[in-house]
């Protein structure tokens, strides 16, 4: 890993108020998310609003981030586990060129949309202080939970929270 990126990651993790305040998922009071409009890997524009009516896991990550790399397969398994339900994972790669992301996705294959935040504008707007950081958005388009740091998305509390939001009408 690039030493500069490692130092930046270390500083971001240590300075993250969410990490100090929370040991796991943080429940939010139905917060309206900031705008999220980004190109996917094919260049098509994707908006979070396109997924209203679905529960959405928005995961901010980068290929150079070891915890991000480790949790990616569990998000794929979660997407497969939730097949047929109104649920989607959106991976938002932060501050990397498309070529770096493509190289990673050749090794770790996922079937969910990967969006490119090349200049980190959306990452900053969402107040992401550490990678990975994830948000679970309910069917009405409101953020209900956040998590700074990695998790196994296809088991335990993560699945319980998502299933509880899927049961809401």
Sheet arrangement for strand 133-137? 26-31, 143-148, 133-137, 55-61, 87-94, 114-117
pLDDT tens digits, one per residue of 139-156? 999 999 999 999 999 999
Domain enclosing residue 70, as ranges: 3-167
Full-model pTM: 0.87
Which pLDDT band, with edges at 50, 70 and 90, does 9 fall under? very low
For residue 10, the domain's CATH number is 3.40.30.10
pLDDT of residue 169: 81
pLDDT tens digits, one per residue of 73-94? 999 999 999 999 999 999 999 9
Domain count of the chain? 1
Helix pair angle (66-81, 156-167), 10° resolution: 40
What residues are paired with 57 via a beta bridge?
89, 136
């Amino acid at each position: 890993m690039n030493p500069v990126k490692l130092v930046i990651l270390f500083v971001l993790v240590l300075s993250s108020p969410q990490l100090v305040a929370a040991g796991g998922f943080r429940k939010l009071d139905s917060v309206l998310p900031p705008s999220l409009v980004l190109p996917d890997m094919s260049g098509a524009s994707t908006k979070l609003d396109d997924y209203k009516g679905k529960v959405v896991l928005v995961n901010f990550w980068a290929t150079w981030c070891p915890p991000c790399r480790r949790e990616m397969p569990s998000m794929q398994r979660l997407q497969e586990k939730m097949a047929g339900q109104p649920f989607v994972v959106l991976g938002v790669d932060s501050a990397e060129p498309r070529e770096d992301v493509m190289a990673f996705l050749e090794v770790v294959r996922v079937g969910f949309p990967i969006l490119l935040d090349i200049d980190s504008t959306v990452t900053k707007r969402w107040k992401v202080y550490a990678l990975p950081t994830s948000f679970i958005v309910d069917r009405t388009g409101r953020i209900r939970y956040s998590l700074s740091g990695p998790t196994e998305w296809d088991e335990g509390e993560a699945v319980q929270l998502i299933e509880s939001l899927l049961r809401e009408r």
